[in-house]
Structure 1
Amino acid sequence: MSKRAYNFNAGPAALPLEVLERAQAEFVDFRETGMSIMEMSHRGAVYESVHNEAQERLLSLLGNPSGYKVLFIQGGATTQFAMIPLNFLSEGKVGSYVMTGSWADKAFKEAKIAGGAHVAATSEDKKFLAIPDLGSIKPADNAAYLHITSNETIEGTQYSEFPDTGSLPLIADMSSDILSRAFDVNKFGLIYAGAQKNLGPSGVTVVIAKEELIAESPSNIPTILRYSTHYKNNSLYNTPPSYSIYMVNQVLKWIEEQGGLAGVEAKNRDKAGLLYNTIDGSGGFYRGVAEQGSRSIMNVTFRMESEELEKKFIKASEQEGFVGLKGHRSVGGLRASIYNAVPYESIKALTDFMSHFQKTNG
């Protein structure tokens, strides 16, 4: 195999090499069935064992919280933006949203269409480059839930701790930082995450929810959009994205091998620390975008003195095998997405390149 790229794509993103190699080894003949897992019935015992194993493994990594169910749903986080208000906004209720950037805004807009949305807090005055103080978050009196986006991939911000909402369900879009660090799942009523950043390939969205929240859904919304449909059918109401779920299970095994969430978090903080130290120690040649206390350990955003220099940086980096360092088209700049599967060696190679680029262009 030729040398693998230094993959800093924001999503779909890097997968662990060990996972890819294991999947390759059993791609054609899965467990001596004479079939790929992509070819077999989702109603068969072989596939269902993988399906159930992935659910159990995920809850195990989260400490086996009591009363929670894992769902596998298609449509990405974007479908969840609509499913949440459709399922939880009864007459006279609104969804309260903490506005932290591009993805929080998308979720908020879907709730406005589906029933009603309220801004519980916002960092718009800081151009979404910081997470609002937890004390500033004020859900509406008639809120059905409080929604947060735990990590904003475009702006490069992340919650360092989560709000305590008491009896009000806390719902989180964790698409870009799920399983990157240890956290108390019991604070949340529902968590959702598109798999394609930290959990596996695109095609499946993982939902972790309190069973009491999803056991019954309104009968006036389409059957496939009811959480209760997926809950009562063990996410097998319709044909699931079976290969994506198989890959999620493989990634979860890999996380176990890294020492679980504590082990993964330690490695992620080392990686982020190395990169942020390079940015901060550049004397202003590189400039971090997000405010210090809100910096993401998953998506490191930074700028240079001019767009022309940034374009030169991107071109030079691509020639050296670096992929995905261009910032999101809506904000420009530079971004390194350093999800769980991105090895420390890739960050070290990037920081070495950054130091060399500064010496030759500073």
Structure 2
Amino acid sequence: MTVLITGGTGLIGAALAEKLVARGDRAVLFDVAPATWRVRPLTTRAGDRLAIVRGDVTSLVDLLDAVRDHGVTAIVHLAYVLGAESNEDPELAARVNILGTTNVLEAARLGGVGRVLLASSIAVYGPDEWYPAAELPLGEDAPLRVAPGVPIYGAGKVYLEHLGAHYAARYGLVVAGLRPSIVYGWGRRRGASAFTGELVDRVAAGEPVTVGFGDARVSLVYVDDVAAQFLALLDADPARFERRRFFNTGGDTVTVRELVDVVRRLVPEARIDVRASGERDVAGLAASVSDRALVETLGVRRAFTPIEVGVRAHLAVARARAGWERGEGGPGAA
């Protein structure tokens, strides 16, 4: 299998590439500005099973060239303008998020790629308080009301899902995807979960850190779990998607203050300042989200739960990467 991953050097793309390469598949990381620092250890051991391609999803030509040059058999589309940036620049969001997704699906259709996986988001829902308590945690059939703090981003994800379904029905593509909760892991620099990356990465480096949103409830999922879920979608029999195409990743529901408490238990010497203003959520995102459909349909369960398990893994990677970058060994070191 040769998988083109748009936004491929981002947090999720890099984790998915690790899993693909580890089992002998090829990963083509397609990115407008490749974050080579994130995948540097992987490049030292992957050989010809990894390629990094500089390209723009707003260019159908770039995508078709990558598909044809590398013999791509599946696409995982992760490239997207994130929430706050979408609010600030709706025109950029429209080009990348709407046109870019259309181009990905067109490249698959024209290039003979049979399967496309799309990254949706829990931003398609509203905050927990918009739903009856009996409907929590939210399943995929909950009304799509769009998180009020990231309306351009969330609405784009709803469009993405409908566009994918259209290409599946009209052209016979196998299209499916995930609605990730807030994804955390080493090197997270952008998006709603940037605070989780900064918190754990700086603690791992022995640096002080200030965290806001202390009272907010969030649904957090570790990046390796999301990568494993995408891998399961890549391998699944297309008949599995007849009932539904998009699945919640699920996540651990905690307040940001509770997340900090977990970090402090694991690293007692951590210097963390928590600030709070009575926030109920982050950007209006749902905090109670169920992955039951994914478990029942594909049998894939999150491994990095409860939250302490994921944070411990995140800390280990952050420490190892810090050592690798100082030349002290670590993942990918000779």
TM-score range, shorter chain: under 0.3
Max Rg structure = 1
TM-score, with length taken from structure 2: 0.27
**Structure with bigger RCO (C-alpha 8 Å, 6+ apart):** 1
Going by fraction, where is helix more abundant, 1 or 2?
A: 2
